Structure 1
Amino acid sequence: MADPTSPGRMERVNPSASSPDPRQGAFWRATTVVYWYVVVEGCFLLAAAPGFAGILLLERDASNIPLYALCLLPLGPAFSAAVSTMAARMTAEEPNVWPRFWRAYARNLGDVLWVWVPALAIATVLGTTVAFGAAAGVDLFFTGAAIVLLVVVALWASHALMIASFFRFRARDIARLALYYLAAKPLVTLGSASYLVLATAVVAFGSDWMLALTAVVFAAFAGANARPMVADVTQRFTADDG
């Protein structure tokens, strides 16, 4: 009988051990990235569809500012879910994007609305003041102050959305943290200002639908831009489970 430990014995080779994992290839990674972007964009459009339907029916007129604000109401939770989902892309092992988005949407909905609704209400008042200030005889100083406040509210709302997307804080704590980080993280604030300006330019020189179809790109950029703020909030204002 041959010695099973002799060098002449053939060893059984596991085929899976020698074959490369297709998920490590460049083509797989590229198609996965495209898949994430396409599915998240589709989920965002579906979640924000009521608002987009209203915007489509409105004329671009200053008198419709309150109606525009009402149509923007569904966009806050939808954008927050897109940010959360895109932020999870780097650590997710499986591309189960569809359920991940809707879990994030349901989880963030309440916190986002608590900050998104007041931001829209204040922006509506300020926007109406800017649009009709001259006709109503409002002093130029107050119109300029309304423009500055409108920019601050937009930046504050951007920070508040990011914090509400990643943390479960009380609404007043989210509001205070968002205001604090306007000055505490100036580079994050500058990044928020840059994509808000870009979004405004897309709408002004393109169309509302062009902005809607690139929302996932803005969500990915917003999440990446907010990382220093999110890391600081995690370190300073959350409990260490360990």
Structure 2
Amino acid sequence: MTSNSLPGELGRGSLGRATVTVHRFGAIGLGFVLASLPAVAAGMLLPWGGLALLVIVLLTVAVAVALAAALAAWRDERGAEHPAPWAAFWRGWRRNAVDVTRAVTPGLLLIGIIAVSVADAGAAGVGAGYAWLLLGIAAVVSLISIRVAVLASMFSFRTRDLWRLAVYTLFRVPRATVALVAVAICVVGLVWLTNEAVPMLLGGAAARLLLHHEGPVIDLVRNQFTQEGKDVSS
């Protein structure tokens, strides 16, 4: 007996490919939402000020881990013959949770301290110029932290090496950095215009977009800083 492809499997026409695409976006997006729930709950329940703000920022490590899992799922699904995005997401979550948490926590801690300082700037009598300087530093650290999460989801480097590579690639691959800034601005804009839940619902799609634009960065790190890249070039 010959086995026919099931509806929605790869290679079954445009409708099948569309079904696979919707399946992937839905499954990875739902996984992202569920994995990010600690940060979402903290943002909705805790007041935005003082030490509670520091707690909220630190809990966004869950979002970083969810992002890494989504990136890993999209990478694994790209060449998969039989789509299994739900399993791919949670496999990526288990594989990356510890490494990504360790990698992004220093940056999130710094951002949290800055957030508390800016929130209490008025009471402390700190000038507006200094507050804007702190916000600028937090923005740069946020961009680097996102790049760190991307690299941590793809490679097994030490934390300090991930940060060095993230800073290095910000200048080495400017086109990817511009795209990263654009994605970050869109996320901030969505939060400003709506609330924190909307970017979370679009997290799976954002991870797919981020993986596309971060491709040159991933290729650069693989080719120049891993044994795999050296073996290929030799």
Partner of 2:80: 92
Cα distance change on mapping 1:234 and 1:66 into 2, 3 Å: same
Q: Of the candidates 176, 184, 188, which is equivalent to residue 176 of structure 2?
A: 188
Report how far residue 45 of structure 1 moved.
Answer: 1.8
Is contact 1:87–1:224 with CA below 8 Å preserved after alignment?
Answer: no
1:161 aligns with 2:149: yes
More off after superposition, 223-232 vs 108-117: 108-117
Partner of 2:95: 107
Residue-by-residue CA offset, 1:149-175 (whole Å, 9 max, x unaligned)? 111101100110110011111111111
Q: Of the candidates 212, 226, 230, which is equivalent to residue 224 of structure 1?
A: 212
Unpaired runs of 5+ residues, structure 2, are none
More off after superposition, 139-148 vs 88-97: 139-148
Partner of 1:121: 109
Amino acid at match of 2:80: A
Query: Identical aligned pairs, as a percentage?
Result: 27
Partner of 2:165: 177
Measured on the aligned residues, the alpha-carbon RMSD in Å equals 2.1
Is contact 2:27–2:86 with CA below 8 Å preserved after alignment?
Answer: yes
Tell me, in whole angstroms, the C-alpha distance in 1 between the residues paired with 2:39 and 2:132: 29
Partner of 1:7: none
Tell me, in whole angstroms, the C-alpha distance in 2 between the residues paired with 1:142 and 1:151: 14
Tell me, in whole angstroms, the C-alpha distance in 2 between the residues paired with 1:28 and 1:127: 47
Tell me, in whole angstroms, the C-alpha distance in 1 between the residues paired with 2:181 and 2:119: 21
Tell me, in whole angstroms, the C-alpha distance in 1 between the residues paired with 2:177 and 2:101: 21
Amino acid at match of 2:159: A
1:62 aligns with 2:52: no
Report how far residue 128 of structure 1 moved.
Answer: 2.1
1:31 aligns with 2:29: no
Tell me, in whole angstroms, the C-alpha distance in 1 between the residues paired with 2:192 and 2:39: 18
Bigger proportion of residues as helix: 2
TM-score (normalised: structure 1)? 0.85
Partner of 1:46: 34
Tell me, in whole angstroms, the C-alpha distance in 2 between the residues paired with 1:233 and 1:22: 31
1:237 aligns with 2:234: no
Partner of 1:199: 187
Unpaired runs of 5+ residues, structure 1, are 1-13
Residue-by-residue CA offset, 1:160-196 (whole Å, 9 max, x unaligned)? 0110011111111111101111111111111111111
Report how far residue 106 of structure 1 moved.
Answer: 1.3
Structure number with bigger Rg: 1
Partner of 1:3: none
Partner of 2:71: 83
TM-score (normalised: structure 2)? 0.88
Count the aligned residue pairs.
225
More off after superposition, 168-177 vs 124-133: 124-133
Cα distance change on mapping 1:22 and 1:93 into 2, 3 Å: closer
Cα distance change on mapping 1:144 and 1:209 into 2, 3 Å: closer
Partner of 1:11: none
Partner of 2:133: 145
